[in-house]
Structure 1
């Protein structure tokens, strides 16, 4: 049995706050959520956490991301040649003009270009946008994972990922609509159950992840170079927890991308003891 939640050990009174750098792909340890464009991320506990968990509308990103691979078993269309041809012509023109096209950075942007227009008439615009983003992210991650070659090769893979997502967008929306509300209720229950322990992570007011998954998620984000700030009764530094009570703001900016992993591992071990 867990003796105390991770955040309880830290003595946090107002949550754990951090600035998230752009991430050009989903973060597996954080439910495969894509953090590019997200801000205002914080781990909330107790009353603030419970209040945040109430609204069903905050679970759209998490549900869409979770449901894309589920629905992908039936949404298996290949990219349309008309889409890939149009995309690669423009992309290769960019290469010729000196634009450095990188698949994992450009694919998602290309894929979501028409999202706002495509979702504007949908009954739930926010859900449509979440499904659109999650579908694009999944296909781009899959297509861009191991791209070797010059700018033109990146163009081909980028366009294949974007156009495959486009071909399956309608199928993903239909499939997800059937179970989306159930998913939201499931995440809300998990969110509420975690508030007295490790809490729940929110970005832009959207639920990201909760409970025992938080330590690994934070470590993964730290490895991507984020800055962590927490109001706590202990100091978090490169050597772990030093036990010095300062009742102030503890700030630790990692000098290297992986330098925060060790102290967070200590916290996770203590929380699970």
Structure 2
């Protein structure tokens, strides 16, 4: 059995700034686990394609595999875990400023330490340990999101604190099952996601990476960028787009290989270049907000 972390006081990190704690699976970003401290950038061309390796696909695959294993891993929260949640302390802190209380942040406050401990027994195999930790993080992100989303922001502090506790404890109850279930799917997932990553690298909008991990976006890169800004206050570096030029159906990025301008078929190079200028202007205004 993998080594387990002793139960930590669930709300022990409440005194930290909420913006430093916040971490969540973002729907427009493929439900990948991201922390508010993540450094995100858009890449285009050859340098981007070189990043589409298995080590950079773990977080995306973990999010996808979590969803596929969710119907198999259905354990309920253990009473001992729920008893360890200091809901009264959480409620007291929340009551001071209810608007700043972040259910997901509290729910995932100990996720890094918990997942490192969960997978410590795999230290002899770095690849297996990395996959285990990615699966563990996706489990906490998925459980916390589900529990917190089921409790509306208008609910009182006690209800939101209880939802945070419930999400963490359900994740703890299912993490072993999720890690084992997901382990069998990584190889096939890598093959599928790698193709999507490489394809996005050839698009004018580029591919998005956060802390070196590819983000398999849903609804377009810009939708994910907006969600990262609005929910986690993350400003994405889109400077790679600003150096791209399109002519006669081909896009050239400074220092990168040519990439297809499939998004603007039948248009002249001037039109494609104008669209990229607009995209660059949008990024500028986003960063100056």
TM-score, structure 1 as length reference? 0.70
Which range is displaced more, 29-38 or 220-229? 220-229
User: Contact (CA 8 Å) 2:104, 2:145: kept in 1 or not?
Assistant: yes
Aligned to 1:209: 216
> Which structure 2 residue ranges, 5 or more long, are not aligned?
1-18, 245-273
Which range is displaced more, 220-229 or 152-161? 220-229
Residues 21 and 42 of structure 1: CA distance in aligned 2, closer, same or farther (over 3 Å): farther
Aligned to 2:79: 81
Aligned to 2:130: 126
Choose from 179, 186, 189 the match for 1:183: 189
Aligned to 1:6: none
Instruction: Name the CA distance, whole Å, in 1 between partners of 2:27 and 2:56.
Output: 20
User: Contact (CA 8 Å) 2:37, 2:234: kept in 1 or not?
Assistant: no
Deviations 1:12-38 (A, max 9, x none): xxxxxxxx9975432211101233245
Question: What is the deviation of 1:42?
Answer: 1.2
- Whether 2:87 is the aligned partner of 1:91: answer yes
TM-score, structure 2 as length reference? 0.67
Choose from 56, 60, 64 the match for 1:62: 60
> Which structure 1 residue ranges, 5 or more long, are not aligned?
1-19, 235-240, 257-273
Instruction: Name the CA distance, whole Å, in 1 between partners of 2:114 and 2:277.
Output: 52
Instruction: Name the CA distance, whole Å, in 2 between partners of 1:38 and 1:23.
Output: 9
Instruction: Name the CA distance, whole Å, in 1 between partners of 2:197 and 2:277.
Output: 31
Describe the SS at the equivalent of 1:35: strand
Pairs aligned (count): 226
Aligned to 1:252: 285
Describe the SS at the equivalent of 2:209: strand
Residues 74 and 140 of structure 1: CA distance in aligned 2, closer, same or farther (over 3 Å): same
Deviations 1:164-206 (A, max 9, x none): 1111111101110111111112111221233222431111111
Question: Please, what is the CA RMSD of the aligned residues?
Answer: 3.3
